[in-house]
Amino acid sequence: HEKAQFQHVELQSHHKRCDIKMRFHLLCLYIIVLEYAVVTRAEEEPNYKFVFDQIIPVKADEEVAKITLEVVRSEDGVKFSGKAEQLVDLDNEWTLNILLKIAEDANGEYNWLMPVPALRVCDFMKFYYRLYIYELLAKYANAPSPFDCPVVKNTYILKEYPLVSKNFNQFLQPGYYQLEVSLFHENDEKIKYIIEGHVEEEM
């Protein structure tokens, strides 16, 4: 009787080992299939790149700032140089409006892609500017600190700031893009720039 029990326990143990082995092999097979699917998808999906087209100064109140900007295109990409003579302090009484639009083709109508709520200058500096802009900008300009607000009047110099699109290439889709950036004071638009570019498949 004890021998039969032992054989029964041994048989159960053997089944468990077989079950674990089977699960392990199935897991390995699943991982291999998943990796193959990811690699195949990566090979099938095209890579896109952002191509800068132009920057348009729509409105510039020279009592607020005097801005000059130069765009240099080369084999290394697009670089921006310029000078901004800021003539007033910018605090939370000033707001930024940022609007991203997209069109299917160059002659198509632009539609809102990502409207951003109006941002007070100090709030913009502490969050978006600090997280996404300042680190790179500070390498090419005497950029104001994101922790100092108001942004005091000063003359800011920009030297060969590169357009870096690699950080968001994975989010790109083909089309023509338009980024509108406006600076308001008490609902009065003082400065407005439009940046245009398009996304194409990288050869």
The CATH number of whichever domain residue 134 belongs to comes to 2.70.220
Same domain, 147 and 159: yes
Number of domains in the chain: 2
Same domain, 6 and 68: no
Same domain, 105 and 41: no
CB 180 within 8 Å of CB 97: yes
pLDDT of residue 117: 82
Same domain, 12 and 71: no
pLDDT of residue 132: 87
Same domain, 88 and 22: no
Same domain, 20 and 75: no
Same domain, 119 and 173: yes
Nearest to 152 by CA among 163, 160, 144, 162: 144
pLDDT in tens, 29-62: 443 333 333 333 334 556 778 888 999 999 999 9
CB 68 within 8 Å of CB 82: yes
Locate all alpha helices (DSSP H) within the chain, ordered by sequence: 2-44, 121-124, 134-137
Q: Which domain holds residue 143?
A: 48-201
Residues of the chain with pLDDT under 50: 2-43
Same domain, 154 and 68: yes
Same domain, 60 and 33: no
Same domain, 158 and 106: yes
Look at the pTM and tell me if it is higher than 0.85. Answer: no
Same domain, 24 and 54: no
Same domain, 62 and 134: yes
pLDDT of residue 202: 72
